[in-house]
Amino acid sequence: KQEVTQIPAALSVPEGENLVLNCSFTDSAIYNLQWFRQDPGKGLTSLLLIQSSQREQTSGRLNASLDKSSGRSTLYIAASQPGDSATYLCAVSPDYGQNFVFGPGTRLSVLP
């Protein structure tokens, strides 16, 4: 059974720092890995999707990498801002249209 973990559980950094969030999964037979952002009391917003054949995806200050063989993904946030404060979750799916398994999330606080 697929299990997804995220380290650290919480992170507090001063504004302007570059940071890395980690996601690990136990079964490397994945179709997609997706990173989400969740603000308190809100739904999840998709940040980046990495398909199994890809190694990384970039969007603005965000870069996500995928190493399927080691079961790891990282989300790199450059020049962090207070508006980046949120919970970040990663999720993997075994095939197109199949259920996504979620990690518990990393709660990020960026201090002004």
Partner 1 sequence: DGGITQSPKYLFRKEGQNVTLSCEQNLNHDAMYWYRQDPGQGLRLIYYSQIVNDFQKGDIAEGYSVSREKKESFPLTVTSAQKNPTAFYLCASTGGDTGELFFGEGSRLTVL
**Binding region for partner 1 (CB under 8 A):** 4, 31-32, 34, 36, 41-46, 49, 51, 89, 91, 93, 96-97, 99-100, 102-105
Angle at 102 between CA 99 and CA 103, to 5 degrees: 160
Give me the least distance between CB of 63 and partner 1, in Å please.
18
Complex with partner 1: residue 34 or 65, whichever CB lies closer: 34
Q: How far is the CB of 72 from partner 1 (least distance, A)?
A: 18
Residue 10 structure tokens: 């919480």
Angle value at C-alpha 25, between 71 and 105, nearest 5 degrees: 125
Using CA atoms, how far apart are residues 51 and 104, in angstroms rounded to an integer? 21
Q: How far is the CB of 78 from partner 1 (least distance, A)?
A: 23
CB of 25 to partner 1, least distance (A): 13
Closer by beta carbon to partner 1, 18 or else 99: 99
- Cβ nearer to partner 1, comparing 17 with 95: 95
Alpha-carbon distances of 102 from 14, 16, 95, 110, rounded to whole Å:
27, 28, 15, 23
Judged by CB, which is closer to partner 1: 19, or 44? 44
Tokens of 67: 């190493």
